[in-house]
Amino acid sequence: MVQTHVETGLAADVESWREKLDAHTREIVAWHFDPSTGCPFWLEYAKKLDWDPREEIHAYADLRKFEPFEDEWLRGGPVRRWVPKAYANDPVYVFETGGSTGVPKSRINVNDFRIDYEIFSDTLSDDDFPRNADWLMLGPSGPRRLRLAVEHLAQYRGGISFCVDMDPRWVVKLIKSGRVDMMHEYKEHVVNQALTLLRAHDNIQCLFATPKLLEALCERVSLVKMGIKGVFCGGTQLTRQFHRFAREELLEGKIGFYPTYGNTLMGLACHKPFDPADDFCVIYHPPCPRALIEVVDPDNTDELVGYGEVGRVRLTTLTKEFFMPGFLERDEALRLPPCQKYPWDGVGDVRPFSGFATPIVEGVY
């Protein structure tokens, strides 16, 4: 049974983290709205306000003074309006999300992806992801952040990352046009490349794979026999039953399994350490204070739902590279309480938001 109340004894930790979050919020708002460091988008935005964010945002809760962040702001150019002046002379990456049809959302990056994945690295066990072991990244690259991020994760841990590309936009097109056979052929093509690499390089012991590709790979080989020790899995919805199936069957109960929830806009939310009491609920905690995930009432997005209740996911990103207050994600989730390792709110059973009129093609990779 998933715990839906705050553990006794955690109150002090929760309060301490809340104070850190508030301080971090003040620092980030001051940075983004300072003409010497902020980005053109927010500086222009501030000119239209009849209040000064640097004066009035004292705590995380004050971010509600901003209107909800609109994803349309991230579509189209000029993309440089998102580059903080402080980073004007640094090499800038742009990563995209969406884009199966229309203009994708873009987010600029300088070092955030590295920082996010270094923080994530600290949550990984060295038994499951041995230092100096090599990695295989089986998922989307191209305009996505994932390839560079996993590669950096591998390098940060002393390894080298092999990569196999998978183009999710093409897969969405195949599904929407009913070309399911071709979609499976493409999946086979991706998995065959992965198998070739796994067979050729003995030191690959760590794997990133999306849920569908993990399933497809495990239909062909035993990852235990291939020498894989840890699997980091994400990119699409992970249901409780998939979580159980992956742990018990695909990975034969012998490989570390680390489900994650992340995206280009927020960063990477880590999975609460596996606890049988959670009944395979995949529970994520965001990389606070760099990002927050809240679960809000879809009909009144100013209100959080109670612990154990389902609502729409709202993301807030608070880094020096990117400020995104109150972005309503296209997901819904259970709101779950802080835990010892992560003394701030988490989310569970994340899935596509059911309130959209048109279903989203999801879970393609």
Partner 1 sequence: MLHIPILRNGNPYTSVESVELVHHATGDPMASVSQANSGMVVRDIGNMDDCVLESFTVRELFDLSRKAAELFMTASLPVGDEMQTFDDYVNQLSSSTGMPVGYCRNNAAKIHRVMDEIEIVVGGLTRGFDVDILDQGYGTHNGGTLSYFREGRIFGAVLPSNSPGVHSLWIPAISLKAPIVLKPGREEPWTPFRVIQAFIAAGVPKEAFGFYPTDHGGAAELLRCVDRSMIFGDANTTRPYENNRNVEIHGPGYSKVLLDDKAADNWQDCVDMIVASIETNGGRSCINASAVWTPKNGRKIAEAVAEQLAKRQALPADDPNATLAAFANPLVAERISDVIDHGLREGDAVDLAEQFRGSPRLVKQGRIAYLLPSVVWCPDREHALANREFLFPFASVIECPTSEMPNAIGKSLIVSAITDDPEFRKALMDSPNIDRLNFGMVPTFKISWDQPHEGNLFEHLYRQRAFQIEPAA
Q: For partner 1, give the closer residue by CB, 105 or 243.
A: 243
Interacting span for partner 1 (CB under 8 A) from 147-155, 243-251, 261-269, 350-358:
243-251
Interacting span for partner 1 (CB under 8 A) from 29-37, 77-85, 97-105, 241-249:
241-249
**Residues in a beta bridge with 256:** 230
Q: Which of 93, 186, 245, 353 binds partner 1 (CB under 8 A)?
A: 245
Q: For partner 1, give the closer residue by CB, 91 or 359.
A: 359
Nearest distance from residue 243's CB to partner 1, in Å? Answer: 8
Answer for the pair 314, 333: CB distance below 8 angstroms, yes or no: no
Q: Does 91 interact with partner 1 (rule: CB under 8 A)?
A: no
Interacting span for partner 1 (CB under 8 A) from 40-48, 118-126, 176-184, 333-341:
176-184
Report the distance separating Cα 234 and Cα 214, nearest Å. Answer: 10
Q: For partner 1, give the closer residue by CB, 56 or 249.
A: 249
| CA 346 to chain centroid | 13
Report the distance separating Cα 207 and Cα 203, nearest Å. Answer: 11
Q: For partner 1, give the closer residue by CB, 69 or 242.
A: 242
Q: Does 363 interact with partner 1 (rule: CB under 8 A)?
A: yes
Q: Does 244 interact with partner 1 (rule: CB under 8 A)?
A: yes
Total residues contacting partner 1 (rule CB under 8 A)?
Answer: 18
Pull the structure tokens for residue 74: 């991230």
Q: Does 358 interact with partner 1 (rule: CB under 8 A)?
A: no
Q: Does 89 interact with partner 1 (rule: CB under 8 A)?
A: no
Q: Which of 11, 103, 180, 360 binds partner 1 (CB under 8 A)?
A: 180
Pull the structure tokens for residue 135: 């990695």
The DSSP annotation for 44-92 comes to HHHHH-SS-HHHH--SGGGGGGSPPBPGGGGBSS-GGGGS-GGGTTS--
Q: Does 219 interact with partner 1 (rule: CB under 8 A)?
A: yes
Burial of 316 (0-12, 13-18, 19+ CB in 10 A): buried
Q: Which of 41, 66, 280, 284 binds partner 1 (CB under 8 A)?
A: 280
Q: Does 249 interact with partner 1 (rule: CB under 8 A)?
A: yes
Q: Which of 172, 231, 250, 313 binds partner 1 (CB under 8 A)?
A: 250
Q: Does 279 interact with partner 1 (rule: CB under 8 A)?
A: yes
Nearest distance from residue 293's CB to partner 1, in Å? Answer: 22
Q: Which of 169, 239, 304, 353 binds partner 1 (CB under 8 A)?
A: 239
Report the distance separating Cα 332 and Cα 310, nearest Å. Answer: 7
Q: 42-46, long-range: CB within 8 Å, 24+ apart, which pairs?
A: 42/323, 44/81
Tally the C-alpha atoms within 13 A of residue 114's C-alpha that lie toward its C-beta: 9
Q: Does 188 interact with partner 1 (rule: CB under 8 A)?
A: no
Q: Which of 58, 64, 80, 184 binds partner 1 (CB under 8 A)?
A: 184
Report the distance separating Cα 317 and Cα 327, nearest Å. Answer: 9
Q: Does 15 interact with partner 1 (rule: CB under 8 A)?
A: no
Q: Which amino acid is at 264?
A: T
The DSSP annotation for 251-310 comes to STTTSEEEE-EEETTTEEEEEPPP-GGGTT--EEE--TTTEEEEEEETTEEEEEPPTT-E
Interacting span for partner 1 (CB under 8 A) from 64-72, 100-108, 211-219, 332-340:
211-219
The DSSP annotation for 4-24 comes to -SPPTT-HHHHHHHHHHHHHH
Q: Judge if the upstream peptide bond of residue 35 is cis by omega within 30 degrees of 0.
A: no
Residue ranges that bind partner 1, judged by CB under 8 A: 178, 180, 184, 215, 218-219, 239-245, 249-250, 279-280, 363
